[in-house]
Chains A and B, each alone.
Chain A
């Protein structure tokens, strides 16, 4: 099975550069604007897009992404509409990998089998589910891999060498290294420590290792990209979006550009790492 994620990392390897991965919340601040943002991201330089599935109780997320999820839910976003958004994106773009990221309950309630069929046919390539560790692989991970979707696992600073094989055993697409112990948008990662951690994970797997949590600026993105196969930015983009809203929390004419503009700057940072590494 080869997904768009595998194809994209193979291409990045040929270009000898690290990938830029953006995270945005589906339906934030409303479904239509959210789709426009999604469409603008590849042009801004996003190599892979993670789409957050809004959830009322995101226990691993900081205030910015919590608020983004609540804005989306308030605007009527549902998992069904998130999948419709993916279909909308795929009308014009059949190459950019899309990864759905979130929490298990909405998928469990949608129905795992039905969700996997609908997600695959909509054009989803992979899943990152924060509250499904390897101990719960039978829930979604194994069925997802069978259905042809990548199940991307999170590895963290607390995932030691003893535990890494378990974390890496049923994973595909890439490994998402969470560079800090903490919630999204809190501390910043130290790039030297990240480099060591990535090297440690790479001793256990051939999969690309991408790094996220705590990357906010083009400089930070470049520093991380020098050590990893991809740099993930979420909270900074969500903050840029929030900053563009009117006082009632609605999208303005500047919303799409606010997110795409920051994404473009971050993409430059990541691309700058290629020269530095060579």
Chain B
């Protein structure tokens, strides 16, 4: 890479929200005053010990943190290489890492006096987490979800509705996560006076990529301490799946300045990188969408292309801007896993460890299956098991039945 190595990989973004050339605030003027307010409200909250201690209380007693760092003994034996640990984010309340961020944002929203919360969701995990926290704090909750995703993630739609949220199926564009985000932004522009937009990943206009990363960094911070306790040292490698990239950023960020730690992000390669996929870094280039500059899938005219992944949570044609920067600086290596590889990993993990993963982290497991056998037995590898697979069971069952025929 041609970029000069920074002194620290953990100092971004700058005051304008840039990670190198990535990030920024590419939004309509209507939203700009609110985004500046949010930036200030978040800075105030961050500096307020009472905010942190209240959040820690909820993280412990409501979310159930810390999540365990679990030695996956049978997977380790099966692969015959690195010693594999799972960071068990799927054991959190609501079943994924998404709740870490939502809790933080809802607490900021409360400080700002906002009573109406909107969110976009792909797999529904962020939508469920948002619906949950809104129920807990008595806030109105509207979730935008692509009509295709409403179809393939029915269990989560039902959960959100049970929690009192209104789920709006989005019919525009490819009717997946990208379009849900467009419609959430349109809602926000319209209802800017009373509405807080709870973005589910490390993307969007500054300060969202930074704020979401900060809230998710609890994953990496805990992992560091837990690994120290288990093994008396740092892990040798980290691996996590990436749609927008919040679970990955949460695990990676506390380790970015430890050069001994190899870091891998896994994008969704869908049907394969030469066909329909959702791997923005492998198959895209820098552009501007949804408030930030980052790697995007697009054509030569700058029109955004539809992504494809078996996993609704990874089915997005972009990636968080900090990941784009970590790619260009070479600090993190970005790989990709196909739908079929993820399905195989989903089944293997269910049978070997008795853990049914969500299809999203199944992509990370797929690359663990490739990387772990090539590493020595003393190599400590941590994979972020970012969500559980309950929501995917009907979809996977249907696919597997189809394959048998």
Chain A residues proximal to chain B, CB less than 8 Å: 54-63, 66, 73, 78-80, 103-110, 130-136, 153-160, 163, 167, 178, 181-183, 186
Contacts and interface: CB of A to CB of B under 8 A. Distances in A.
B303 interface: yes
Given A59-B290, A131-B291, A156 B25 contact: no
A182 B183 CA distance: 12
Given A109-B300, A131-B288, 20 more contacts: A54-B303, A55-B302, A57-B182, A60-B189, A63-B172, A66-B172, A103-B288, A104-B288, A105-B287, A105-B298, A107-B302, A108-B288, A110-B302, A131-B26, A135-B24, A158-B33, A158-B34, A159-B29, A181-B193, A182-B189
B27 interface: yes
A176 to B, nearest CB: 9
B277 interface: no
B211 interface: no
Given A135-B16, A178-B30, A181-B30, A105 B186 contact: no
Given A105-B287, A135-B16, A178-B30, A78 B193 contact: no
A134 to B, nearest CB: 8
B388 interface: no
In the A-B complex, list the 5 residue pairs whose CB atoms are closest, starting with the nearest. Answer: A109-B302, A106-B302, A182-B190, A156-B30, A78-B301
Contacts of B30: 60, 154, 156-158, 178, 181
Contacts of B24: 135-136
B45 interface: no
Given A105-B304, A136-B25, A154-B29, A57 B289 contact: yes
Interface string B299-335: 0111110000000000000000000000000000000
The binding surface of chain A is classed by DSSP as loop
Contacts of A80: 301
Nearest to A108: B288
A79 B29 CA distance: 23
Contacts of B33: 158-160, 163
B227 interface: no
Nearest to B190: A182
A56 to B, nearest CB: 5
A241 B50 CA distance: 57
Contact of A79 (B191, B289, B296, B301): B301
B28 interface: yes
B28 A56 contact: no
B178 to A, nearest CB: 7
B242 interface: no
B28 A133 contact: yes
Contacts of A103: 288
Nearest to A81: B301
A68 to B, nearest CB: 13
Contacts of A66: 172
Nearest to A103: B288
Contacts of B301: 78-80, 106, 109-110
Interface residues of B, number: 36
A60 B28 CA distance: 7
Contact of B304 (A57, A107, A130, A167): A57
A58 B178 CA distance: 11
Given A135-B16, A136-B26, A154-B29, A183 B189 contact: yes
A79 B302 contact: yes
25 contacts: A56-B173, A57-B173, A57-B289, A59-B182, A59-B186, A61-B186, A63-B172, A78-B301, A79-B301, A104-B288, A106-B303, A108-B287, A108-B288, A108-B293, A110-B302, A131-B291, A133-B27, A135-B16, A135-B24, A136-B24, A153-B29, A154-B28, A158-B34, A159-B32, A182-B189
Interface in B118-152: none
Contacts of A182: 189-190
Which of B27, B29, B178, B298 has the most chain A CB atoms inside 10 A of its CB?
Answer: B29
A69 B102 CA distance: 34
Which of B16, B185, B191, B288 has the most chain A CB atoms inside 10 A of its CB?
Answer: B288
Contacts of A132: 26
Interface in B271-294: 287-291, 293
B192 interface: yes
A108 B286 CA distance: 9
A171 to B, nearest CB: 11
A185 B239 CA distance: 45
Nearest to B285: A109
A62 to B, nearest CB: 8
Contact of A167 (B29, B289, B291): B29
Contacts of B291: 131
Contacts of A153: 29
Contacts of B193: 158, 181
Nearest to A66: B172
Nearest to A69: B303
A271 B27 CA distance: 34
A154 B29 CA distance: 6
B22 to A, nearest CB: 13
Given A133-B29, A135-B25, A105 B190 contact: no
A158 B301 CA distance: 32
